[in-house]
Amino acid sequence: MFSRLVRDLQELEGYDVDSARELLIREITDRNKNDIFNAYQLCLVGKDGNLSEDNVEVIGVGEPGRERKWVLTYTRANQQNPQSAPEEVVLSVQGVLKSTVILPPFKDTYQSSVRRVRYLKQGVTVTGLGTQQFDDAMNGITYVMSIFARSAEDGNILPSDGFNLGDNPSTLDVTNRYLTPVHERQPGDQSLTLAKEIDPLSTLNRFISEGEYVYGEDNQVLYFIKTNKETYVPAKPSVFRAGDIVEVQLSFAMIKIKNGNFKLQTILRAIMLLDRSITQKALLSMYRSKPRASASTPVSAKRRLVYERALDDINIKRIAREKSMATD
């Protein structure tokens, strides 16, 4: 229960940043050599032998000629099945969870306007603790943005709000909408039901049942724990803590905004827990240093009813009267 209170890295007292940085570099190096998710590494984007504008393309989603969203896909020649539908590019980045404030479970009863449901999101903030590899990943985002810029017609493309390369250290916010308005659903996208570990109060499922929103494949976020170098198992989102070393999988989209401009979005697809040893040590230290109740003898108060006091008064008077009679 105590660890549930820590949702931001700044609240984690005694967190060993130097050890976490060393572990993170080790995990990034390992993932670059042995990617069990088979996804391109964001820190290598644009470099020799990795993802480049030669093997990807930007395509519009929705009715041809009226698109308001564009996604990054592999070119047909680079897909495993060239005859299948376009395959969206998914990239991986490793970092330390800085914030898990908007991770499920969603426990808000939410009484606000139904129109604002579209803005409800789940997501995380990750940091590289100043490592060069994480900054390389942030530079990879600028490379991806330059690919989208070629499809932005005459408008400007603005970076994602969660892209904080100027911070010291750099951080990245990656989110995904819980629900999509019905009129924005992609063709053939079936509406699903959110699991209890995500929507325990059925607040979001209620909006789905009312017919104005859907929870489709594009809204799904998958959660995993790495068990060894080559295997992983599904996990509940509640297991993640600020300070954990994780791998985040994300995709990119460009949306049309006001004045003919465009904006880049980073979309959360999956999170995998790589190492939580540093977090556990800090949490244990915080728990041990938590003030405890005094071991001295507890103080208690006794209670006497009015009736009990009245009976005592009667008995005292009776005894005094009996003594007086005995002396006469």
Q: What tens digit of pLDDT does each residue of 262-320 get?
A: 899 999 999 999 999 999 999 888 878 766 555 555 555 555 554 455 556 666 666 66
- Residue 64 falls inside a structural domain: yes
Q: Is residue 298 part of a domain?
A: no
Q: Is 26 contained in some domain?
A: yes
Q: For residue 81, is it within any domain?
A: yes
**Does residue 316 belong to any structural domain of this protein?**
no
Query: Any idea which residue has 């938590």 for tokens?
Result: 290
Q: For residues 41 and 95, give the distance between their C-alpha atoms in angstroms, rounded to a whole number.
A: 12
277-288 and 17-33 are packed helices; what angle lies between their axes, rounded to 10 degrees? 160
| Ramachandran angles phi, psi of 249, nearest 5° | -105, 135
d(C-alpha 124, C-alpha 172), whole Å: 8
Q: Is residue 296 part of a domain?
A: no
8 Å CB contact between 240 and 126: no
Q: What's the chain's length in residues?
A: 328
Confidence of residue 188 (pLDDT cuts 50, 70, 90): confident
Does 140 map to a domain?
yes
Calpha distance 214→153 (Å, rounded):
31
Residue 166 scores a pLDDT above 80: no
d(CA 236, CA 37) in angstroms, rounded, equals 18
d(CA 313, CA 171): 76
324 or 19: which leads in pLDDT:
19
Residue of higher predicted confidence among 202 and 294: 202
Report the C-alpha gap between 236 and 231 in whole angstroms. Answer: 17
- Angle (CA) 42 47 49, round 5°: 100
Tell me what the pLDDT averaged over the chain comes to. 82
- Residue 317's pLDDT is what? 62
Cβ-based neighbour number of residue 57 at 10 Å:
18
Cα dihedral across residues 20, 22, 23, 27: positive or negative: positive
Could you tell me the sign of the dihedral formed by the alpha carbons of 76, 79, 84, 88, in that order? negative
pLDDT for 190: 81
**pLDDT class for 173, splitting at 50, 70, 90?**
very high
In a domain, 35, yes or no: yes
Provide the domain limits for residue 269: 2-288
Q: Tell me the pLDDT tens digit for each residue of 57-116.
A: 898 887 777 777 899 998 866 556 666 677 899 999 999 999 888 899 998 877 767 778
| pLDDT of 6 over the 70 cut | no
The pLDDT of residue 243 is above 60: yes
- Strand 157-158 relative to strand 262-275: parallel, antiparallel, unpaired? parallel
Of the candidates 170, 168, 165, the residue with the CA atom closest to the CA atom of residue 264:
165
H/E stretch holding 325 reads helix 306-327
pLDDT mean over 226-230: 81
Q: Is the pTM of this model over 0.85?
A: no
Stretch (H or E) spanning 284? helix 277-288
**For the chain, how many structural domains are there in total?**
1
Q: Using 50, 70 and 90 to split pLDDT, how confident is the model at 134? A: very high
Distances (CA, A) of 114 to 104, 106, 185, 206, 210: 20, 16, 17, 11, 10
